[in-house]
Amino acid sequence: MAETVLADGPAAGGCNRACAGRVTLGARMYASDRPRHHGALMAFCLVLALVLTLGAALAIWLDRQALSDRGWTNTSSALIENPPIRTAVADEMVSQLFTRANVDAGLSSVLGPLAPAAEHELRSFATRLAVRTLKTRPIEQLWRSANRQAHRELVAIIEHDRGGDVYLQLSPILNDLLTALRSSKPVTALPAAAQQVLAIRIGNAGRVRILRADQVGTVRVTINTIRNLVLVLSLLAGICFVLAILVATGRRRRAIAYVGVCLAVCGGILLAARALIGPALADSLVPADAPGNRAAVRAVWMVGTTQLRTEAIIALVGGVVLLIGGAVAAVVVGRRGPARAVWQ
């Protein structure tokens, strides 16, 4: 162990003062480097926590919105209540119905050159009738039940390693639409031979395939990954936030405020992404000559990301509360201790 020897005399006094000055300077340098090191570590933890929080929010959204039976059913109900989506669904139902009945050929054989105009008017009326039908309470219940059943089949196939396609069974709704169309005034006003065009059986015309058998394996891996990410990312994000506060020795109130900033930034990023992705997705999937379908795709995105918007708002509000709380606490402590900086 090194031993410090203090000599006597004037010369020794000067030496002792010089040595003491060097020791004091070294201590100050160490003290100034330590907060800087801790500040860098705190910043790293905060940035990592921000990234993990974004990932956790996306995983939670997918788990609750798509993988939960209740979330799937509620989302499907909200979808059919949206006017652009309801119009798009009605148009698709009418297209399937007219294809099944081969309406264009049937009307051509009966009405001759008047068939194209009659088909156009009949299709427009059928679409409006389908929109009104989809607004009724019984049809909304059928829609909800069909989506619930489709989701249960999807979960059963994925969790129990079953095979086969997954369909959304809309045949009952299509049958109700066909019945309403047959009894409507425009159809009853047609010649009897033209009315026979709609004397068809729906069969499987109302089935919409949402998952092919060869996609089950990929979907199973994706779902299991999402469910694991919900727990892992949430836990890691919380640990990083706690570490950021712990390493900020003497500046923990400021660290709490920084945690609030990270949460607020996370919420803002999610809200901005939700607002920007919808139009871009619609533009990339739907051609420009189908503005109605583009509006439907945007509406599907906005309705489907409702849970994500809720998470973003919670993060934004919670972050602002932490930011204000940390700042106020730092100011109060700074006023009580005049020798300390405000953010210490």
pLDDT score, position 270 = 95
pLDDT score, position 344 = 44
What's the rounded Cα separation, in Å, for the pair 243 and 234?
Answer: 14
pLDDT score, position 317 = 95
Q: Tell me phi and psi for residue 68, to 5 degrees.
A: -85, 135
Taking alpha carbons only, the member of 252, 230, 225 closest to residue 241 is 252
For the chain, give me the number of helices (H) and strands (E)?
13, 2
**Across residues 64-91, what is the average pLDDT?**
85
Q: Tell me phi and psi for residue 169, to 5 degrees.
A: -85, 100
152: its two tokens: 């249960």
Using alpha carbons, list the distances in angstroms from residue 38 to 27, 82, 192, 240, 242: 17, 52, 87, 14, 14
Taking alpha carbons only, the member of 128, 127, 114, 130 closest to residue 191 is 114
DSSP 7: P
pLDDT tens column, 19-55 = 444 444 444 444 444 455 567 888 999 999 999 999 9
Do 122 and 48 form a contact (C-beta atoms < 8 A)? Answer: no
Do 181 and 198 form a contact (C-beta atoms < 8 A)? Answer: yes
Q: Which residues pair with 167 in a beta bridge?
A: 209
232: its two tokens: 């892992």
What's the rounded Cα separation, in Å, for the pair 85 and 162?
Answer: 32
**Across residues 242-253, what is the average pLDDT?**
85
What is the overall mean pLDDT for the chain? 79
DSSP 44: H
Q: Which residues pair with 168 in a beta bridge?
A: 208
**Across residues 249-277, what is the average pLDDT?**
91
pLDDT band at 262 (very low <50, low <70, confident <90, very high): very high
Taking alpha carbons only, the member of 126, 136, 139, 134 closest to residue 184 is 126
3-state class (DSSP) for residue 315: helix
What's the rounded Cα separation, in Å, for the pair 78 and 69?
Answer: 14
3-state class (DSSP) for residue 76: helix
3-state class (DSSP) for residue 208: strand
Q: Which residues pair with 208 in a beta bridge?
A: 168
What's the rounded Cα separation, in Å, for the pair 331 and 341?
Answer: 9
What's the rounded Cα separation, in Å, for the pair 323 and 135?
Answer: 46
3-state class (DSSP) for residue 305: coil
DSSP 190: S
Measured over the CA atoms of residue 231, residue 234, residue 239 and residue 242, the dihedral's sign is negative
The predicted model scores a pTM of 0.74
DSSP 210: E
Helix (H), strand (E) at residue 17: helix 10-62
Say if residue 333's pLDDT is above 80. no
115: its two tokens: 């068939």
Degrees, nearest 5: CA angle 168-173-177: 145
pLDDT band at 334 (very low <50, low <70, confident <90, very high): low
